[in-house]
Amino acid sequence: MSQYKYSLLTPRPETIRMLRLLPSEDNTAQIQCQLVDYTLPTPGTEDHPYEALSYVWGSENTPQSILIDGQTLSVTENLYTALLYLRERQLERLLWIDAICINQGDEDEKAQQIQFMPMIYGQASQVVVWLGETADQSDKALETIRLTADDEPSEDKPTDIQQELNHTAIVRLLERPWFRRIWVLQEVYAAQDILVLCGDVKIHGYTFSSGLKDLSLSLKVRPELQSLVGSVVYLMRGAIFRPGTTSSRGTLSLGELIDMYHARAATKKQDKVYALLGMSSDSPLLPNYKLPWSTVFQQVITYIFSEKASIRIWPHRDLALIQSRGHILGQIIEVKSDESQHDRHIVRIRNIALQLVVTRRGDNRRTLYGRNMQGTIWTLHVSAKPIQKGDIVCLLEGAPKPSIIRPYKGYFSLIVTSATPLQEEEDVRWDEIFETLRSRHDPIRDMSLIWDWETSHTNSGKLQELEIPMESTDTAPGISGMDSEETKRFDDLTLIVRDTLVNMDMGFAATRLLDYLKESKLPISEKFDLAAAISRAWGYSAMKELGVDIIGETMPIAELDQEVTDLWDQIE
């Protein structure tokens, strides 16, 4: 039997293909389908009788064949299984499925069709989430979730052992690949009605998300899994509240979305960017699968940080070195969850008020000092890399939004590229403050930054490998790139740490440590580690509660790394 060959789509705007899944009363019969062209009308003008499938492609090692218009087409085993469960006995089913409705061998068509996906999922009568076949008591897990959402007691109160088994089954369900896939974010973000399907068990998306929300406190889930699942469940829960017409723009910038979701799984590296375009408030890029990942990565970095940054990228890696300059806004001294919204957390930043003295009207120095010590509160979206106490907030030259960075191994690791406060203080407009800073020339610091998408934490050995970049794309001729001497990077690091200590009770003690460290004969790698430890150690709350009197100042011994304590002993 011949292989199916795609015909060109009708040359009309917003034309896609739809899959007619033909019925069969024989569950073992080969899957037969038809593909038809379909033009997406203006949102809200008419009903759409199709469903859109949200699923994981799965392994391509054991492909299965389906018939389309009498010709064979290979699909993954997971998709084949989903089609078996979706097939009706008497009526055909109209579906949109990316692997079939898009010609995967035509890169130009893929790039074009991907732009329609928010409309496709937003206008579908229903988005079907396929989690896979029944396994690991997934049926029990879904029943527990349903009962919890409906606040219904089961006929027999479960024993402690049974309750533990139910919770284990739920965790196993949440560990399935669908919850890690980056494309599902856009698919459920656009959906107006969601059906979750696992084997032959069905549950409405709102019921599923509500039950998981109510169970979240009792489930023993790893933090990284909680973050992955939480963001998807939050989007699923909002589906029923979305209007009948879909918006073409989201509310978050591409930089914010990447900060939140870059740790998710994607078959192709480019999809870590392209899967978020339909959710973003800006449209900086167009999908182009002909471009190598290194080029797409560079485009993203240039868009977020401007062409003033010098960029060096590892080919075939989610890793970049960025040299830029920027203003130090302050240091994070507290991080806590926002109990009202799972996808947000609250950070307290010390020193930002003093840095922004020129923007304050009518404040005397004492008032500014008090604000500095109390700290500035920001509510931020939860990021893929957790923000920690001691992280530094900066505004890079040419960047529209501040970044959060962390000293590590002689560089600064980028934790958040586009930190966006979700609230306005009564007397402060942050956009005006940042614009004022951009017009200033001092103090501005040189920074060597590492942006690593390959891990959601920074304590990995990968940074130790970053000595000689294999590929570079310097875009700023005025900057020499990442080949500067380690001593220069150490000097830059100490200047930035000093900026975070301005007007602190403990600033003098920390400055003494930095001066001693600079003149010491220690290996440069140890100097980097100690300077980073000094930056972490000087938290305001620790100084207040855990200090001892040294040179008339409060030194937070309990907060210091042992190496820093030993260094202080050498000074004394």
Last residue of a domain, one of 211, 241, 271: 241
Say how far apart CA 58 and CA 38 lie, in whole Å: 27
Range with the lowest mean pLDDT among 288-302, 339-353, 407-421, 501-515?
501-515
Q: Give the pLDDT confidence score for residue 538 in this predicted structure.
A: 59
Mean pLDDT, the chain, integer:
81
Mean pLDDT of 75-86: 98
Assess if residue 6 is contained within a domain.
no
pLDDT at 458: 41
**Residue 151 or 478, more confident:** 151
340, 452: one domain:
yes
Rounded Cα distance, 270 and 55, in Å: 19
Mean pLDDT of 236-255: 77
Does the pLDDT of residue 232 top 70, yes or no? yes
Residue 344 has pLDDT above 80, yes or no: yes
pTM listed for this prediction = 0.83
Q: Name which of 280, 330, 333, 331 is nearest 304 in CA terms.
A: 280
**Helix locations, 52-182, DSSP H:** 77-86, 98-101, 107-114, 117-123, 138-150, 160-174
Break the chain down into helix, strand, coil percent, rounded to 5: 40, 20, 40
- What pLDDT does residue 122 have? 92
pLDDT digits (tens, 9 = 90+) for 151-165: 765 555 555 556 777
Q: Name the residue range of residue 339's domain.
A: 310-571
Residue 10 forms part of a structural domain? no
Using CB atoms within 10 A of its CB, is residue 61 exposed (0-12), middle (13-18) or buried (19+)? exposed
pLDDT for 89: 95
382 in any annotated domain: yes
Q: Is the pLDDT of residue 428 over 80?
A: no
Among 3-12, 32-41, 314-323, the least confident range: 314-323
In a domain? residue 3: no
- With beta carbons less than 8 A apart as the criterion, state whether 77 and 48 touch: no
Answer whether residue 487 shows pLDDT above 50: yes
Q: Is the pLDDT of residue 81 over 90?
A: yes
Same structural domain, 224 and 338: no
Residue 200 CA to its chain's centroid (Å): 32
- Partner residues linked to 418 by β-bridges: none
**Residue 219: pLDDT over 70:** no
Tokens of 145: 């979730």
Q: For the chain, what is the domain count?
A: 2
Average pLDDT of span 203-223: 82
Residue 468 and residue 332 in one domain: yes
In this structure, are 327 and 205 located in the same domain? Answer: no
Name the 3-class secondary structure at 23.
coil
Rounded to an integer, what distance in angstroms lies between the CA atom of residue 211 and that of residue 343? 17
- The number of beta carbons lying within 10 Å of the beta carbon of residue 409 is 18
Together in a domain, 431 and 533: yes
Distances (CA, A) of 306 to 276, 277, 397, 415, 417: 20, 19, 8, 18, 12
pLDDT at position 544 is 46
Could you tell me how many helices (H) and strands (E) the chain has, helices first?
20, 20
Are 569 and 538 in contact, with CB atoms under 8 Å apart? no
Q: What is the pLDDT of residue 363?
A: 53
- pLDDT mean over 135-139: 95
- State the pLDDT at residue 358: 47
Is 278 part of any domain?
A: no
Q: Does residue 555 have a pLDDT over 50?
A: no
Q: pLDDT-based confidence at 494, cuts 50/70/90?
A: confident
Q: Which pLDDT band, with edges at 50, 70 and 90, does 502 fall under?
A: low
- Indicate if 235 and 364 belong to the same structural domain: no
Burial (CB count within 10 angstroms: exposed 0-12, middle 13-18, buried 19+), residue 543? buried
The last residue of a domain, from among 221, 241, 261: 241
Residue 244 has pLDDT above 80, yes or no: no
pLDDT in tens, 394-403: 999 989 899 9
Whether residues 110 and 219 fall in one domain: yes
Q: Give the pLDDT confidence score for residue 136 in this predicted structure.
A: 94
Mean pLDDT check: name the lowest of 1-15, 296-310, 326-340, 342-356.
342-356
Give the tens place of pLDDT for each residue, 163-212: 777 888 999 999 999 999 999 999 999 999 999 999 999 999 999 999 98
CB atoms within 10 A of CB 498: 18
pLDDT on residue 314: 82
Let me know whether 225 and 325 are in one domain.
Answer: no
Residue 28 has pLDDT above 80, yes or no: yes
Looking at the fold, whether 357 and 474 belong to one and the same domain comes out as yes
Q: Give the least confident one: 44-58, 91-105, 549-563.
A: 549-563
Residue 65: pLDDT over 90: yes
Q: Give the mean pLDDT of 315-337.
A: 88
Q: How confident is the model at residue 486 (pLDDT cuts 50, 70, 90)?
A: confident
What one-character DSSP code corresponds to residue 505? T
DSSP assignment of 520-572, as one string? S-S-HHHHHHHHHHHHHH--HHHHHHH-EEETTEEE-GGGS-HHHHHHHHHH-
Reported as a pLDDT band with limits 50, 70 and 90, residue 114 is: very high
- Residue pair 141/163 in contact (Cβ under 8 Å)? The answer is no
316 domain-assigned: yes
Q: 556 or 294, which is more confident?
A: 294
Query: Is the residue at 274 inside a domain?
Result: no
**So what's the pLDDT on residue 541?**
39
- Work out the average pLDDT over 426-435: 70
313 within 8 A of 223, measured Cβ to Cβ: no
Does 230 fall in a domain?
A: yes
Question: What backbone phi and psi angles, to 5 degrees, belong to 172?
Answer: -60, -40
DSSP code for 2: P
Same domain assignment for residues 231 and 354: no
According to DSSP, residue 156 is labeled: S
Q: Mark whether 237 and 315 lie in a shared domain.
A: no
Same domain membership, residue 325 and residue 228: no
Question: Does position 479 have pLDDT exceeding 60, yes or no?
Answer: no
Share of the chain above pLDDT 90, in %: 45
**Residue 417: pLDDT over 90:** yes
Of 190, 209, 241, the one marking the end of a domain is 241
* pLDDT (tens digit per residue) in 352-378: 655 554 444 455 554 545 555 567 888
Kindly calculate the radius of gyration of the chain based on its CA atoms and give it in whole angstroms. 27
Which pairing describes strands 194-198 and 310-313: parallel, antiparallel, or unpaired? unpaired
Do residues 105 and 173 lie in contact, with contact meaning Cβ atoms separated by under 8 Å? no
Distance from C-alpha of 546 to C-alpha of 262, rounded to nearest angstrom: 37
